[in-house]
Amino acid sequence: MKKKLLALLLALCCLLSAGSAVAGAAEPPALLPTDPAHTVLRWSLQLGKSYADAPSVPAYADGCIYITSRKSLYKIDAATGEILQTAATVADNGYATKPVCLADGKVFCPLEDGTVQAFDAATLAPLWTVSAAHGGQPVTEITYADGRIYTGFWNDIAEDADFICADAADGTLLWSVTRTGGYYGSGAVVENGRVYFGGDNGNADETAPGRFECRDAGTGALIDSMEIAGNLRCKPALEAHTLYFPTKAGLLYKVELTRSGTFTQAKTLKLGGASTATPVLANGTLYLGVQTAGYQGVAAVIDAQTLQLRCTVATPGYPACAALAVPGEDATAVYLTCNTPPGGIALFTDRADAASAACVTLFTPPEGARNYCLSTIAMGEDGTLFYKNDSGYVFAVAAGDEDPEPEPEPSAPTLWQRIVAWFRGVLAAIRHFFSGLISR
């Protein structure tokens, strides 16, 4: 009897446990902000006052935001905006146009004077520092792959600067390449032990020939190179052994790779304007910001297979950074920032084979926090969007509704109001007394 009772209890416990698991699995997925009327500013934090001392582009990992500002590294609670930890850096973060790199349990910070400094991501304890021979501005993002980091620096269009590779464990400089013109935003991608990157061409003529390279990721030995038109100021997109990148000469390149990593004949698409934005791939479609004039631009929607322009989407300004593309069941939500005030977030929804799309302003910063914007957008697990603009503010934007205005507290009655209320009470009592007599 006891065994039967024990078995029954065990079965009941298993049934309850299964019910709990199913209930947990049924929780709704991350909620993305898609409607301006139901998008709110969860929090904002000011860590600078202008483009000259602005915080870096936010990087997200494990519920935290990592940001550099001047000579400090910040670890911030992504849900509340509370500063959890800080650490001093050995150099300034410059114009802070790129995020820190989070990988291998470390935070790799791009800093002035051609410097990269590594910190422990959990404690922000400083680990090591490495510097490029020619110094330079940290305007190229850091790429991590296979225990190594890759990045470039920039001094001026006609001055030398370096692309470096360092050991991520201890900061040992493994190899470097010096180029006249340097590396302005020209990040790297790594595949099969090979690293691919371009840079500036050292010429004031932005349509003059430049060079795109393939090197051994461990030794830096040159494997292949190809001539391209104009400066390359973005990180290439890489998918299915195929590279995509635009140039300031207004061409989008598609380069297929051989088994040995060398380049095949490149295909190009005329964009109608310069581009310094990293292409973003989603469901076989490329999304790319293109400059039309000054600070104005469009988002180009391109079939990655055929390299045909499907449509252009009018945007509030030039989308100079990589978009954030979030694929859904039947459409892709494309979030982007534009390098013009007010420096908010724009959004358009792209449906497969659609001939057009309309862009809406999803979020506008409050007064005092509006400025130009050169920031990619990071996304948390719950769909919250994190970015910054040149006002020095960092923003956390999420789906939701503004809290209703609280009911005003009733004000205390004045002396005159109290006297009037007393007389009204006396009159009411007299009326009640006489009405009682009449009723008798």
For 262-314, write each residue's pLDDT tens digit.
999 899 999 999 999 999 999 999 999 999 998 999 999 999 999 999 999 99
Give residue-wise pLDDT tens across range 351-361: 987 788 999 99
Which of 40-44, 64-68, 69-73, 201-205 bottoms out in mean pLDDT, i.e. has the lowest? 201-205
Confidence bin at 8 (pLDDT 50/70/90): very low
d(CA 168, CA 120): 12
Strands across the sheet containing 72-77: 59-61, 64-69, 72-77, 83-88
Class for the domain spanning 30-57+277-403? mainly beta
Of 387, 389, 349, 352, give the one whose Cα is nearest residue 370: 389
pLDDT digits (tens, 9 = 90+) for 94-135: 988 999 999 999 999 999 999 999 999 999 999 999 999 999
What is the C-alpha to C-alpha distance for residues 88 and 122, in angstroms, rounded to an integer? 15
pLDDT-based confidence at residue 15 (cuts at 50, 70, 90): very low
Report whether 150 contacts 190 (CB < 8 A).
Answer: yes
